[in-house]
Structure 1
Amino acid sequence: MSLIVFLLISILTVILTTWILRKILLEGKYEYAIFFVLYYLPFYVTGLGLVYLPTRSILIVNIFQYLKELVLVTGVLSFVFYHKSFFQYPFRLHKVDMLFLAFIGLGFLYMVLPLGEASTVSKVVYFKNLLMPGLVYFLARNTQFDEQDARDLFKGIFIIALLAFIVNIGEKLAATHLQSHTGFAIFLQEVRDMEPSGNYGLAWTFETQSTSRRLASFFADPLELASSVLLGFSAGLIWYLTSKREDWTVYAIVMGASFASLLFSSSRAAFASFFVMLLFIAVIFRLYKLLLFGGAVFLLFVVYVLFFASEDFYFFVIDTITFENTSSVGHVVEWLLALESMVANPLGIGLAMSGNVGVVDEELRVGGENQYLIYGVQLGWIGMFLYILILAYGIKTCIQVFRLSDNVMTARIAFVGAAVKVGLLLPLFTANAELYSYVAWMSWWMVGYSVNAFQQIKYSSIQLS
């Protein structure tokens, strides 16, 4: 059975990769790399487990693992090749461009400097992980989708959200994790040298403190699912708000499915960030009815916890609020260790010295459960503030494009980009959230697309004046 699944995954991957590379190499549509991100990354880690289970081949796993880098690099090379007058291409740098270049440049400098105890290979691999979001941003920064391409992109986001919910329902009914049947634990143990943990033989992130299941659907873990549903919900919301009333059903279903998946994941940070995202959308985009909706949902949640929830769930919520939950205490300890390192080493201690990436040696790791501090430990205070400024100016630009653009599809992309980046601000405090490649890369693409749109609006207005 596992061999049949492997063959099916191989066939689907070949079809997807061939379609994307054909568009990129033969038609010069480098922007189609984002469709590979859309359809490949949600299933990425689960797929690696299913590939390794029947083959036990690290070589074959590496082929599937590095396909995403191959497609993105090919997209960038296609951009260069198909612009024969590349050096006359009108690069007009925006603040986000300059900040991204500075951040990646700093990462490159720390990769080549003899700083830190990590091996050269670990530094190179870590820098590669640092570079990938920049390549996605660069491709989006030079992308203009027509209406059909943008519509296809949103359709894909809706499909992923609905599929995740359907798998969650299956997991709930079967009282199991999908990952228990995909070779996930074997893959972690034999390929990534991580011993299975927890009561379900997977990892502690797959259960609450009371040992109830936290579901992940086909994502790598429940935390990635919880962050990724922010993308589906915000996409469904903007289409609901900007479409004809008779078309509201599908978008309402997408929003409902996304919220349900959030509940299945039992992620405290993502649940809080969902309401932060609703508040942000309501205030910034002047959608004040959302305040009433968010308040009503929050009130229902409080009533449920106080009067209807099980005792385990009740104390799970109370312990979280009072920081008596073991996981919450663990986060604080990691933050303090990271801050201590940053105070002692304000310029950082080098790449591959913090975070939960596989190339970070556990014996060398300092901190690792706060994306801001992870960069701060490695790249110093400068690196951390560069990352924060990229987020701040990226969100600001998306808001401006949403308000200024006459193109409905562009405005929708900007809306989702801003909403998701704001929604991820809290998960970034409690996780190495840039590892959630699907939602991280998709949202960086939307930021890049919005910056491109903003520059066009800006320079067209200058020419008109």
Structure 2
Amino acid sequence: MYATADIFKGNRQGVLLFFIFGLSIYTTTMSLSFVLGFKFLIPVFQPFKELLVLTILGLGIYQMKEKIKLNMVDYLLGGYFFYTLLYVVIPLGDFGLSDRLSAFKSMSFFPLIYASGRLIAAEKVNLGKYFHYILIVAVAATGVLIYELISDQHFQTVTGYADYNFYYFGQEPTGNYGLTWTFETETGFRRFASFFSNPLEYAAATLLALAVIAALYTDDDNNLKISAFGQLALASSFIAIVAALSRAPLASYFAMIYVYAFITSKRNILKTFHYGFIAAVLYFIFLIQNEDIYSFVVDTITFQNASSVGHIIEWLAGIDAMIRQPLGLGLGSSGKVAGMLGLNVGGENQFIIIGVQAGIIALILYLLIHAYLMVYTYKWIKILKGNERKIAIMLFLFKIGSIVPLLTTNFENYSYVIYISWFLSGIFINSITAKSISNG
């Protein structure tokens, strides 16, 4: 309600307040509403984030005073959106219109989030405030995580997570803890999600927080000055990513730090990484003398552990489907909708999920969108100043950190990071397009 009031006062960027504080607790709010007897509120809550985006987009178009100059990213996102929209109309595959619409929203709503930010100038955004809000969420999430670790209990077991998922999505509780398999490793160790929807979204949110820390505390001369609160947020992010018990987010976390050191010429960080790598190799040589550790490492490298095997089987099934049907099997055949119905083909990889549903053309467009955004953000880090540069640093690092999760999860379903990152991507492209015009 606060964010909505802010928007109608003319502060469209105020929606970030809801994206940050509302979407981080979105599933927890739904679950608690269900178990506490406020089930009637859930149909109001569920479409609220999409309605807010459409409202901002509509207001932005209505208030537009001059025609905007389109960027290559605009063309690619528009092409992707309208191309995949055709698959809603065309009755391809075995799914009905409602399932196709649901799959389309899951797979292709992000261009509208981007477009809503595309009509907002960066200088109108109080970036420092919203970046600090993201860090507040990161610190609060780690506080809940510490409680989970001490009590050895998932927060979701007391919020009605399993009951909510079963009632609305028909998902039976799985795993050893009455939630889903995502909440544990293949060896049975608990994986915690704090107040996020699942451990993988929490890991993605942690990567976003790390990107924000790097951007917020780096000035235009690449000096890194982290405040006491920033240090607390950084420590919180490290605790969270270690407790995630997932190799992919942990690798992404350190890759982001390494890339940050490279683009800002932080030689001390680079040297630390290089020496740390050498030490890790020597320690690894010592550790593999233990037969159990040796087997674990070999199984991981050769993709023979249960988690890796599962990914590969899904990838191969998806690639096979794309080879057989280059134009796709139809919306709903992979990803969230198919997963709920137990008919999933080639999930656990965002690229394959798109390719299976809407074919090679949609996949190429999606890849180009990410490639162009990475190129633009990296290029403009060297040119921009102030808040605009901070957005560029944050987006570039987050894109780097997202590469592995995109390969191993249905990444576009993580509302918290998707809404924030695509909205800021729109603001960033608006900024560099305006500067390109002013520079002739």
TM-score (norm 2): 0.92
Q: Counterparts of 1:109-188 in structure 2 under 5 Å?
A: 109-146=86-123, 149-188=126-165
For residue 60 of structure 2, what is the aligned residue in structure 1? 79
Measure how far apart 1:66 and its partner are.
1.2
Change (3 A) 1:43 1:300: farther
For residue 434 of structure 1, what is the aligned residue in structure 2? 412
Q: Which moved more, 1:275-284 or 1:289-298?
A: 289-298
Maintained 8 Å contact 2:315/2:348 = yes
* Alignment pair present for 1:32 and 2:10: no
Measure how far apart 1:35 and its partner are.
2.2
Measure how far apart 1:125 and its partner are.
1.8
For residue 311 of structure 2, what is the aligned residue in structure 1? 331
For residue 4 of structure 1, what is the aligned residue in structure 2? none
Measure how far apart 1:304 and its partner are.
7.6
For residue 8 of structure 1, what is the aligned residue in structure 2? none
Task: Name the aligned partner's letter for residue 229 of structure 2.
Answer: V
* Alignment pair present for 1:354 and 2:334: yes
Measure how far apart 1:128 and its partner are.
2.2
Measure how far apart 1:358 and its partner are.
4.2
- Distance in 2 of aligned mates of 1:180 and 1:35: 27
Alignment partner of 1:454 out of 408, 432, 436? 432
Alignment partner of 2:397 out of 419, 424, 432? 419
Task: Name the aligned partner's letter for residue 383 of structure 1.
Answer: A
Measure how far apart 1:361 and its partner are.
5.2
- Distance in 1 of aligned mates of 2:148 and 2:287: 26
Measure how far apart 1:303 and its partner are.
7.5
Q: How many residues align?
A: 436
Measure how far apart 1:296 and its partner are.
5.4
Change (3 A) 1:288 1:119: farther
Q: 1:240-297 deviations in whole A, cap 9, x for unaligned?
A: 3339877533222212211210111111111122233233333344334332344456
- Identity of matched residues, %: 33
For residue 208 of structure 1, what is the aligned residue in structure 2? 185
- Distance in 1 of aligned mates of 2:151 and 2:339: 35
* Alignment pair present for 1:381 and 2:360: yes
- Distance in 1 of aligned mates of 2:201 and 2:20: 15
Change (3 A) 1:74 1:314: farther
Maintained 8 Å contact 2:169/2:340 = no
Where 2:357 maps in the other structure, the secondary structure is helix
Q: 1:40-92 deviations in whole A, cap 9, x for unaligned?
A: 111111221111112273x4222111111121111112213333x5xxx2221
- Distance in 1 of aligned mates of 2:144 and 2:296: 25
Q: Counterparts of 1:31-430 in structure 2 under 5 Å?
A: 31-55=13-37, 57=39, 59-83=40-64, 85=65, 89-146=66-123, 149-242=126-219, 248-295=227-274, 316=296, 318-355=298-335, 357-358=336-337, 362-406=341-385, 408-430=386-408
Maintained 8 Å contact 2:99/2:337 = no
Change (3 A) 1:70 1:100: same
Q: Which runs of 5+ in 1 are unaligned?
A: 1-17
Task: Name the aligned partner's letter for residue 80 of structure 1.
Answer: I
TM-score (norm 1): 0.87
Change (3 A) 1:294 1:258: farther
Measure how far apart 1:380 and its partner are.
0.7
Change (3 A) 1:298 1:32: farther
Task: Name the aligned partner's letter for residue 135 of structure 1.
Answer: L
Q: 1:341-378 deviations in whole A, cap 9, x for unaligned?
A: 000001111111101x1465534321111100110111
- Distance in 2 of aligned mates of 1:264 and 1:22: 38
Where 1:114 maps in the other structure, the secondary structure is coil
- Distance in 1 of aligned mates of 2:207 and 2:279: 20
Change (3 A) 1:246 1:345: closer
Measure how far apart 1:127 and its partner are.
1.7
Measure how far apart 1:147 and its partner are.
7.3
- Distance in 2 of aligned mates of 1:56 and 1:303: 57
Measure how far apart 1:161 and its partner are.
1.0
Measure how far apart 1:30 and its partner are.
2.2
- Distance in 2 of aligned mates of 1:48 and 1:298: 43
Where 1:327 maps in the other structure, the secondary structure is helix
